[in-house]
């Protein structure tokens, strides 16, 4: 696959967007930790957020694999 500046720019935009989403996710998780103390509801929310973080990490791995091929 030959070098394509437009594709590279789009991938960079996607990576920046994912970084922003991840930072917002971390802020929400920290806020929930502070707001809900040790309630069961907090534990359930944190479990769901951890699942989201795992999916986010899977997406990053897929992007890294794609970049290696390019």
The pLDDT value given to residue 2: 61
The pLDDT value given to residue 3: 63
In sequence order, the 6+-apart residues with CB closer than 8 A to the CB of 59 are: 18
DSSP state letters, 8-60: HHHHHHHHHHHHHHHHHHHHHHHHHHHHSTT-HHHHHHHHHHHHHHHHHHHHH
The pLDDT value given to residue 45: 80
More confident residue, 37 or 65: 65
The pLDDT value given to residue 32: 78
Residue 37 pLDDT > 70: no
Burial 33-44 (b: 16+ CB within 10 A, else e): eeeeeeeeeeee
Q: Encoding tokens for residue 14?
A: 């996607």
């Amino acid at each position: 696959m030959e070098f394509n500046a437009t594709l590279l720019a789009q991938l960079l935009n996607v990576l920046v967007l994912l970084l922003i989403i991840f930072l917002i996710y971390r802020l929400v998780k920290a806020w929930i930790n502070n707001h809900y103390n040790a309630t069961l509801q907090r534990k359930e929310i944190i479990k769901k957020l951890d699942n989201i973080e795992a999916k986010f990490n899977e997406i990053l791995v897929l992007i890294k694999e794609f970049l290696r091929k390019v």
